[in-house]
Amino acid sequence: MDLNYGINGSISADAARPITINSSTPIGIVATVNQGSTGLMKFNNATEGLAYIVTNSITEGTLYAALKGIELQGVNCPLVVQLSTKAATEAEDITNVLAGIDELRYADAETGIDLKNGLMIAPVHSADLSVGAKLDALSTKLWTTGLTDDFSADEAGFKAYMGNFGSRYLLHCTGYYNADGILIPNSAIMAGLIALWDSKTPFGWAKSHSNRIAKGVSGSPRRIEYLDGSDCEARRLRQDGGCMIVKDIGWRTYGFETRDIDPIWQSLARVRTFHRMLAAILKATKWARDREADELLSVRKSIDEFLNELIGNGVGIGFEVYFDELKNTKATVTAGKFYLTIKFQDMPSISELNIELIYSDAWSEVLINYINGEAA
């Protein structure tokens, strides 16, 4: 029955919806232990994980070095850990680690920690090609960054290892590093460092994490030649997508590139930025699904405001948001299918600065005037 009398009201919204990106970066770890429970578990931070090691009298395996490398960086991010019992042979360990990487797919359902856009490591064991390839496969699926290890004795060995990959979802780390009295694989140190700097500011995830101090590192058993301003081993490795820690006013990370065949996606900072942006946009616009098509105006406003915020905070240079007239045809509109195009240019990192020092005699007259006692 119609209500013909009285005062009737309703509530609606015509406004941009906020789009936010969480700056916390979770880390997924696949490791081995000789004591304690196995399977999938979570720790609120690395310190909690190290307490678990003490409680369970764990003395062997790869978990301790992984947690210590992360803890030394001072980060307080959540960890999803898949543990298997340290086996009698390396081959058995590899088999268990491969199965463990698969288990990280269920991290959100089992632990409440979504690894999407996070980090994944399998310290030490990722030096095995099959483990590195498995990390790549899952990282591609979850939009995470997988960090691999390599312990080759020289430049040629590391390059040979990296030659098996061409992914935008992997960061190839090399070497053990002396830290806190033990040798820690670079993947663990780098994972902790990335997670730390991601969370330092609301938009830390959009930055390159090369040229950052690796806390706790005091040396490495493998020497890597690093020379400012000239050809050297470190430069050549970085050009191939390698990531290392070099001594340069402290022990600093060097390299934050992928081995993707497309030069645009060889910047790991750009890859991570675009995926975080896309994930945030998809999540924030779910409310519009199955609503009337005129709500798309609010969707576009929301994205405009979000991108303006990114530009204002130095994440990007410029953007354009529009419904493409070629893609959005009469037929697609009738079907309720719409295409929204977002063009965005991120703020590039300075990977190379070329400084030219030139001798010029253009100021000779100043000297002559001075020694003649004349005013300049």
pLDDT for 16-47, tens place per residue?
Answer: 788 989 889 999 999 999 999 999 999 999 99
What proportion of the chain, given as a percentage, has pLDDT over 90?
89
User: What pLDDT is attached to residue 254?
Assistant: 97
Do 250 and 358 lie in one domain? The reply is: no
Q: Considering the domain boundaries, does residue 20 fall inside one?
A: no
Q: Are residues 232 and 325 in the same domain?
A: no
Segment 223-228 mean pLDDT: 92
- Looking at the structure, tell me whether residues 266 and 296 fall in a common domain: no
Both 179 and 326 in a single domain? no
Task: Enter the DSSP assignment of 264.
Answer: G
**Is position 278 within any domain?**
no
Tell me the per-residue pLDDT of 311-347, one tens digit each, with 9 for 90 and over. Answer: 999 999 999 999 999 999 999 999 999 999 999 999 9
224 shares its domain with 190: yes
* Range from 51-55, 344-348, 353-357 carrying the lowest mean pLDDT: 353-357
pTM above 0.85, yes or no: yes
Residues 259 and 298 in one domain: no
**Which SS3 state, helix, strand or coil, does residue 235 take?**
helix
Per-residue tokens: 329: 């045809």
**Residue 220: closest CA among 248, 179, 172:** 179
Q: Pick from 240, 270, 300: which residue ends a domain?
A: 270
**Domain hosting residue 174, numbered range:** 27-270
Q: Are residues 357 and 258 part of one domain? A: no
pLDDT at position 17 is: 85
Residue 369 lies in a domain: yes
pLDDT at 1 over 70: no
The answer to whether residues 260 and 329 belong to one domain is: no
- The predicted-structure confidence for 87-141, as pLDDT tens digits, reads as follows 999 999 999 999 999 999 999 999 999 999 999 999 999 999 999 999 999 999 9
Report if residue 12 sits inside a domain. no
Q: What pLDDT does residue 376 have?
A: 54
Asked if pLDDT for residue 15 goes beyond 80, the answer is no
Q: What is the mean pLDDT of the chain?
A: 95
Number of separate domains in the chain: 2
